[in-house]
Amino acid sequence: MLCPVFERFTEQARQVVVLAQVYARELKQGHIGAEHLLLALLADGDEIPAQVLASFGVDQGTVRVRLIEAVGLGEQPSGPPGQQIPFTPRAKKALELALREALALGHNDIRTGHLLLGLVRDEEGLGVSLLLGLDVELQALRDRVRERLGPPSAGEGVRVPGGMRGSSEASVSGNVTSVGSEDPLCPSCSQPLSETLRVKTIDAVLEGQGSSQSVEVTYCGACGSALSAGRQRQTPGLLRVPDPRDPQSVEGRFQERCRELIDQIQTAGFTPGGWIGLITRHGAVGAARELLSTGQILPVTRWLLEQGQPELTMEREITRQEWATIFDDAERAEAERRLERAAEDD
């Protein structure tokens, strides 16, 4: 019998869990912590967490910078893309508390808003520490999220195995959650999904359109049964750079160029969430200038150097003559120095 809490996650909530692993890997950290869940919750501006946190002046780029300032980057890659990264106890607790929040509100599913409520209930976690450092008042945050989530619809109410309405006992194992002591099982082969759950991106032809679309499929690695699928544009593999305010201006063309670079990088297998977050906040030119002024080298720059593709780095792009009207000689020289320094660090 399949009875995991993970099945109650909305598609957006599932993507938060997947994206948290992407950020942990990008930061070269061998665990998924509450801080990575927070970054993932801030990734989708159409969801309640990002919108509510924005009302407190919090965005992903700022949180990411504060996180790096607090703990730094890991020294070693956190394993190959297919390798699972474990949750920390606090991240597990945040997911468990998300279930309790859903139950308390009488909701049948677990949404991204419930994940944020679960995260902020553990006030000793790093995720909450980052929010407190940005002057977020936690009770006000909770109130706004609960207001946005709204009351349960008619007939709604969480039921768990054994007929107990509103039971909040849950645990997290691997990259999925389960009720009580049972692991969620694959409905086809009954293998525990904590050991066999896999995610793969495939190209699918859109019916009636003749064009293809990258689709991310969650499946059981033991028997191959697909459990869910969604277009990749909604997944961490295709985080979107916002449109420039004036596409015809030099600044707008630079942002379009950054979008092209970031799309190529994501296609190659790396999600530069920090770069995207800064562009979302400051625009591409503003993001570049902030990085140059702080001396911060993005993880994606080091990754591209490891892959032998320095031409895709933001630093190399800044040095191109095409952008000489927006970046002066000193900024372009600094970009070149940073690229050399990153190569030496590797």
CATH code where residue 71 lies: 1.10.1780.10
- 184-207 tens-digit pLDDT: 566 666 666 666 677 666 666 555
DSSP 8-class letter at 151: P
CB 273 within 8 A of CB 35: no
Q: Establish if 245 belongs to a structural domain.
A: yes
CB 286 within 8 A of CB 303: no
CB 191 within 8 A of CB 185: yes
pLDDT at 176: 39
Q: Establish if 18 belongs to a structural domain.
A: yes
Is 87 a residue whose pLDDT tops 80?
yes
Average pLDDT estimate for 11-19:
88
CB 346 within 8 A of CB 313: no
- Average confidence score pLDDT of the chain: 77
Is 211 a residue whose pLDDT tops 80?
no
Average pLDDT estimate for 152-176:
42
Total number of residues shown for the chain: 346
Average pLDDT estimate for 244-256:
89
**Percentage of the chain surpassing pLDDT 70?**
71
Total domains present in the chain: 3
Phi, psi (degrees; rounded to nearest 5) at 166 = 85, 10
Q: Are residues 33 and 172 in the same domain?
A: yes
Q: Establish if 175 belongs to a structural domain.
A: yes
| Domain residue limits at 97 | 5-179
Q: Are residues 16 and 159 in the same domain?
A: yes
- 93-146 tens-digit pLDDT: 888 889 889 888 888 889 999 999 999 998 888 889 899 999 999 999 999 999
290 — pLDDT class (breaks 50, 70, 90): confident
Domain boundary, last residue among 206, 221, 237:
237
Q: In this structure, what is the dihedral angle of CA atoms 44, 312, 287, 327, given to the nearest 10 degrees?
A: -160
pLDDT at 267: 82
Separation CA 261–CA 241 (nearest Å): 10
Q: Are residues 19 and 105 in the same domain?
A: yes
Q: Are residues 224 and 255 in the same domain?
A: no
> Which one has a higher pLDDT value, 28 or 20?
20
CB 215 within 8 A of CB 137: no
179 — pLDDT class (breaks 50, 70, 90): very low
pLDDT at 40: 93
Q: Establish if 187 belongs to a structural domain.
A: no
Average pLDDT estimate for 269-285:
80
Separation CA 36–CA 91 (nearest Å): 9
CA 24 vs. chain centroid, Å, equals 9
Count of C-beta atoms within a 10 Å radius of residue 10: 16
> Which one has a higher pLDDT value, 156 or 202?
202
Q: Establish if 186 belongs to a structural domain.
A: no
pLDDT at 343: 84
pLDDT at 153: 63
Q: Are residues 50 and 175 in the same domain?
A: yes
pLDDT at 80: 53
Q: Establish if 188 belongs to a structural domain.
A: no
Q: Are residues 213 and 247 in the same domain?
A: no
**Measured in Å, how far apart are the chain's first and last C-alpha atoms?**
49
> Which one has a higher pLDDT value, 281 or 130?
130
301 contact partners, CB below 8 Å, separation of at least 6: 313, 314, 315, 338, 339, 342
Q: Establish if 271 belongs to a structural domain.
A: yes
pLDDT at 229: 52
- 298-342 tens-digit pLDDT: 888 888 998 899 999 999 999 999 999 999 999 999 999 988 888
Instruction: Dig out the tokens for 234 from the structure.
Output: 């909604």
165 — pLDDT class (breaks 50, 70, 90): very low
Is 257 a residue whose pLDDT tops 90?
yes
pLDDT at 235: 40
Average pLDDT estimate for 54-82:
78
Q: Are residues 221 and 129 in the same domain?
A: no
